[in-house]
Amino acid sequence: MTRHVLKKRSKKAGLPPGSLVHIGEQKTDVMKFSVLDYDEQNCSETILSRIEQCFVYRDRPSITWLDIEGVHDIHALEKIGQCFGLHPLVVEDILNTDQRPKIEDYGDYLYIVLRMLTNGSEKGEISSEQVSLILGENFVLSIQEGAKGDVFDSVRTRIRSSKGQIRKLGADYLAYSLIDAVVDNYFIILERIGERVESLEETLISDPGQETLHLIHNLKREMIYLRKSVWPLREVVSGMQRRDSILIRESTGYYLRDVYDHTIQVIDTVETFRDMLSGMLDIYLSSISNRTNAVMKVLTVIATIFIPLTWIAGVYGMNFKNMPELGWRYGYLASWIAMIFVALGMVIYFKKKKWW
């Protein structure tokens, strides 16, 4: 994936800043603009058919949440930028869907980038998409790449049903709720990974193979990837807390501290998985080497027992004229006894040394 993005990214080299080029895969066919406009009493929902309609919501006293799915229509995003007075660099960043989480203060509004995780395939591999939030005085824009799942549904439901305090509080609380939804979603992803780690652990004990090694390495790589999505988030949330922006009310501070705690928990869990996977790699390597050694040991023991026996047999297979033992009556029997004696001696010796 990294390379995919690098390819697109490197194509953009040389364009002036603020050039609007969509970097990343197009994840949806048609862009969708849904508006949720609410205050404590009222709540109206609209799907915009033409992007120009967004200008209606510009100076309303009520809180407007414009949720956009899809980022490939550069023209539409440019219009939105004009409508809400966004800096060209913000619109450019919305289009570049390989941003790491960050927060930027543009005075009138905050620009927040998050990464939403989804379980891409049945194998459980994680893919991520960019979620841009713009928090203005009484509006919130959320721009998603157009994922399969939508973690914002729960927030939408809460607004519609006026559940909790969300209708009573401002745009900053809405922004918090959206961030919280994204972070909460991480726990679901982590649970899946936890299952995979656990099943890998069982395989490791029952039947480790070359395959196990690749699984461990794949999980390790995903952890690196996950870590990269989550670590900067910590700074984003603590940045929101510390920030003396007038856009964030003091009462929202407690809630941000709560999200911050969740972020730390996510990071902690990711680190724990990393530690576990490192330990598993050690166990894998030492169990592989243990197994091979066990094989070699037993085999060598067998070989070592028979080599002296073969030598004894060889001695009495010599054709010297003058070999008195050959004529003895119990010579053959004696040779058997000697061989059994030698074999038993070695077996006892090996047993005593616990080599067998």
Instruction: Pick out residues in 231-290 that bind its own copies (CB under 8 A).
Output: 254-255, 257-258, 261, 264-265, 268-269, 272, 275-276, 279, 281-283, 285-290
Task: Using CB under 8 A, pick the residue from 120, 304, 344, 347 that binds its own copies.
Answer: 304
Nearest alpha-carbon partner for 198 in 265, 268, 273: 273
Task: Using CB under 8 A, pick the residue from 52, 60, 332, 340 that binds its own copies.
Answer: 332
Rounded to the nearest whole angstrom, what is the least distance from the CB of residue 122 to its own copies in the complex? Answer: 19
338 belongs to the binding site for its own copies (CB under 8 A): no
What part of residues 198-217 is at the interface with its own copies (CB under 8 A)?
198, 210, 213-214, 217
Rounded to the nearest whole angstrom, what is the least distance from the CB of residue 345 to its own copies in the complex? Answer: 12
What part of residues 63-122 is at the interface with its own copies (CB under 8 A)?
87, 89, 92-93, 98-100, 102, 104, 106
What part of residues 15-74 is at the interface with its own copies (CB under 8 A)?
15-19
- Spatial CB neighbours of 185, under 8 Å, sequence gap ≥ 6: 116, 117, 151
Say how many residues make up the chain: 356
Task: Using CB under 8 A, pick the residue from 148, 292, 340, 348 that binds its own copies.
Answer: 292
Helix axis angle, 153-160 relative to 171-206, nearest 10°? 140
Using the minimum distance from each CB to its own copies, give the nearer residue, 120 or 345: 345
Pairing of strands 63-69, 32-38: antiparallel
CA 37 – CA 40 distance, rounded (Å)? 11
What part of residues 139-178 is at the interface with its own copies (CB under 8 A)?
151, 153-154, 158, 163-166, 176-177
Using the minimum distance from each CB to its own copies, give the nearer residue, 57 or 84: 84
Strand 102-105's sheet: what is its strand order?
A: 43-48, 32-38, 63-69, 139-144, 126-135, 110-119, 102-105
Number of residues that bind its own copies (CB under 8 A): 115
Task: Using CB under 8 A, pick the residue from 242, 300, 337, 348 that binds its own copies.
Answer: 300
Q: Which long-range contacts (CB under 8 A, 24 or more apart) does 251-258 make?
A: 251/169, 252/169, 252/170, 252/172, 252/173, 252/176, 255/173, 255/176, 255/180, 256/176, 258/180
Using the minimum distance from each CB to its own copies, give the nearer residue, 50 or 353: 353
Using the minimum distance from each CB to its own copies, give the nearer residue, 60 or 313: 313
Apex 172 CA angle, 42 and 57, nearest 5: 50
| Residue 96 to residues 14, 27, 109, 291, Cα–Cα distance (Å) | 15, 13, 20, 50
Using the minimum distance from each CB to its own copies, give the nearer residue, 123 or 353: 353
Amino acid at 152: F
309 belongs to the binding site for its own copies (CB under 8 A): yes
Amino acid at 175: A
7 belongs to the binding site for its own copies (CB under 8 A): yes
